[in-house]
């Protein structure tokens, strides 16, 4: 029962991720590691954390779970950028890409985002709800206890509403989704008007419904060639701020410049950043914007990684997310992607874990999770092992053996993500 205190332990090592900086580099020596640790859950929150042998004196034996194996505990992972509300496949795109076509060339030949728009529009709201449930459960099985989910494959008022309603209904079962409106993904091919006219229709007709139905409080836009320009995005996002939405941006994926707008408008996050140069890095480091690296897109496109090491050394923050989508990032495994990014960019293990936990929470404006501490949401994962370094060392091969979300244990089942 969630309203009954439950003490769990002893964990061989318990990594709290407490008392670490939001910005800049982090060394592994800064990690708080509680040896033979215990954690007490009550009503979905953490009520106590410390040495297991020092806890539980006032608890009945039935309220204590004694672990009989060596386990390593971490905060639940937070995937701060996904597109898991979609229908269909883009395997054709992938085959063209590995044969040498570029992302933009594929889009011009009928693939790309518009291909998924067509397939998602053909799906019912119930279809999309079930697809979100399946993919989110796959993520949870792999240690993710909070998932940001974007719309953006509807590209009309009616179809974007369908997507966001499906996400909301899925979360009524999951209690782990953070919805984001990405109606400004690309200008729709079937809209009779300019990109600015489309954006005006979205903010005047869709946003009031988002607020009325409480479908989301976040607005995103893709700033890139073939999507939306700086001035179009500036006007759209300023309107979003006037509506009291949180804002985030897809920027600097193929060309630099969009991150400047993220800093100017004090966005929560700037996501992608593969094309960010020294000037962009300096601007981000001097701001409170959370840079979000998306190694899944780099792997899926065979492209460069975001300059994670340079961002941290310059004093910026860094979150790491999967970008799970049917086109550029179909893998959907955050732990594998973060492990590879860490090896490529020479991130400390502390920096990699921070990017998937409390720094990712900051990118979503969530203060109640991302660390194991008193008063925080009781989201925790555990791996079999004796040394926390084993998890990233195995680069995603070692999967969680236990997942607790809101204090509830979840069975590790055999869900697939396709």
User: Average of pLDDT values for 194-220?
Assistant: 98
Q: Which two tokens stand for residue 66?
A: 């004694």
* pLDDT band with cut points at 50, 70 and 90 for residue 197: very high
Domains defined along the chain, listed by start = 6-75+371-410 (2.30.40.10), 78-363 (3.20.20.140)
Closest CA to 329 of 272, 386, 387: 272
Provide the percentage of residues in the chain whose pLDDT is more than 70: 98
Q: Is 84 helix (H, G, I), strand (E, B) or coil?
A: coil
Q: Report the distance separating Cα 49 and Cα 127, nearest Å.
A: 41
**Is a pLDDT exceeding 60 seen at residue 416?**
no
- Looking at the DSSP bridge assignments, the partners of residue 292 are 271, 319
pLDDT digit string, tens, across residues 152-161: 999 999 999 9
Enter the pTM of the model: 0.97
Cα-Cα-Cα-Cα dihedral sign, residues 189, 232, 167, 291: positive
Q: Name, in order, each residue with C-beta under 8 angstroms of 339's C-beta and a sequence gap of 6 or more.
A: 352, 392, 394, 395, 396
Give yes or no for residue 103 having a pLDDT over 80. no
End-to-end, the C-alpha distance of the chain in Å comes to 33
For residues 324-347, average pLDDT = 97
Give one DSSP letter per residue of 90-139, joined into a string: -HHHHHHHHTT--HHHHHHTT-SHHHHHHHHHTS-HHHHHHHHHHHHHHH
Is residue 417 pLDDT above 80, yes or no? no
């Amino acid at each position: 029962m969630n309203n009954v205190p439950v003490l769990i332990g002893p964990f061989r090592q318990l990594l709290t991720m407490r008392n670490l900086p939001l910005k800049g580099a982090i060394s592994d020596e800064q990690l708080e590691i509680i040896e033979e640790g215990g954690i007490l859950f009550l009503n979905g929150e953490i009520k106590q954390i410390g040495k297991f042998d020092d806890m539980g004196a006032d608890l009945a034996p039935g309220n204590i779970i004694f672990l009989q194996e060596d386990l390593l505990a971490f905060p639940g992972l937070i995937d701060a950028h996904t597109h898991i509300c979609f229908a269909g496949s883009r395997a054709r795109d992938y085959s063209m890409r590995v044969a040498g076509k570029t992302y933009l060339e594929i889009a011009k030949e009928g693939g790309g985002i518009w291909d998924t728009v067509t397939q998602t529009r053909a799906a019912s709201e119930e279809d999309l709800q079930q697809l979100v449930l399946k993919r989110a459960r796959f993520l949870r099985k792999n240690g993710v206890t909070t998932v940001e989910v974007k719309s953006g494959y509807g590209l009309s008022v009616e179809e974007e509403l369908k997507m966001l309603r499906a996400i909301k209904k899925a979360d009524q079962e999951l209690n782990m989704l953070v919805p984001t409106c990405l109606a400004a993904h690309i200008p729709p091919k079937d809209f009779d008007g300019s990109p600015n006219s489309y954006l005006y229709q979205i903010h005047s007709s869709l946003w009031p419904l988002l607020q009325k139905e409480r479908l989301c409080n976040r607005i995103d836009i893709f700033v890139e060639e073939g999507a939306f320009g700086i001035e179009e995005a500036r006007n759209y996002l300023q309107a979003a701020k006037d509506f009291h939405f949180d804002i985030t941006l897809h920027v600097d994926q193929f060309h630099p410049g969009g991150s400047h707008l993220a800093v100017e408008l004090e966005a929560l996050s700037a996501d992608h950043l593969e094309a960010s140069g020294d000037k962009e890095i300096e601007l981000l480091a001097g701001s409170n914007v959370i840079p979000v690296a998306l190694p899944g897109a780099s792997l899926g496109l065979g492209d460069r990684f975001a300059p994670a090491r340079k961002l941290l050394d310059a004093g910026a923050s860094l979150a790491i997310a999967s970008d799970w989508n049917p086109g550029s990032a179909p893998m959907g495994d955050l732990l594998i992607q973060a492990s590879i990014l860490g090896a490529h960019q020479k991130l400390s293990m502390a920096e990699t874990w921070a990017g998937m936990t409390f720094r990712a929470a900051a990118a979503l404006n969530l203060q109640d999770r991302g660390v194991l501490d008193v008063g925080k949401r009781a989201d925790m994962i555990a791996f079999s092992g004796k040394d926390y370094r084993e998890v990233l060392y195995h680069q995603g091969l070692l999967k969680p053996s236990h997942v607790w979300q809101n204090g509830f244990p979840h069975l590790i089942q055999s869900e697939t993500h396709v």
